[in-house]
Amino acid sequence: MWKLEYKSLILIIILCVFFNPVNAQQFEKLFELYENRRIEQLRDIVMDMSKTYSSSPEVIFFKNLFNENGEESTLIYEQILPKSQGRLKRYITKKLANYYFAKGYYITAKRYEEMNINSIEETEQKNPANSEEEDKPNDIFIIQVGAFSMKDNAEQLTQMLFTQKIDARVVERKIADNKTIPMKEERF
């Protein structure tokens, strides 16, 4: 009889620890701070929570926002992606898409962007009234094809893209004391 009570007590403790509504409220607070760009508060809370909830996908995601090693964070995001859902999944896929796009891995970036869009659509189907306007996919996508130090090279690539029926334009940017001319491909 004592063993049965002991097992029941252990089960209750496990349920309280893992299914505690306070955890959900704390994770919601992380999302709120992130969305409101309150980075210092987010950092403090995440570092504190990482001691207690080190295996939580939410805590792992937010903790890695402060990791300076992008490749390391990307590997971690890819590991926690299968365990994530809802808003966390959207943020992870958005981060991965942006990372791979910046690295020039456009096919991989597109795959994560599609996962992001699918995640948004799933969320909207479950909660149509709660869909967030900023997470909806845009009708216009801009892809930077290159950055050039000489305008002639940018214009030459623009002409080559026009022959392939791809609308493109040259946008001049000044970075520090140098002028760089990124060439952007645009589809409308």
- Return phi, psi of residue 143, to 5°: -120, 125
Lowest mean pLDDT among 5-9, 18-22, 142-146, 167-171: 18-22
CATH class of the domain defined by 2-135: mainly alpha
Residue 151, amino acid: K
Decide if pLDDT at 131 tops 50: no
Residue pLDDT, tens place only, 30-64 = 899 888 988 899 999 999 988 888 889 999 999 99
Contact present, 145 and 168 (Cβ < 8 Å): yes
**How many alpha carbons fall within 13 Å on the CB side of residue 167?**
6
Q: How many angstroms separate the CA atoms of 14 and 119, rounded?
A: 31
Q: Which of 37-41, 138-142, 156-160 has the highest mean pLDDT?
A: 37-41
Per the structure block, which two tokens stand in for 22?
């306070």
Please compute the mean of the pLDDT values over residues 150-160 and round it to a whole number. Answer: 83
Per the structure block, which two tokens stand in for 187?
């589809």
For the stretch 84-109, what's the b/e string if a residue is b when 16 or more beta carbons lie within 10 angstroms of its beta carbon?
A: beebbbbbbbbbbbebbbeeeeeeeb
Residue pLDDT, tens place only, 20-31 = 444 677 888 889
Q: What is the pTM of this model?
A: 0.55
Confidence of residue 188 (pLDDT cuts 50, 70, 90): very low
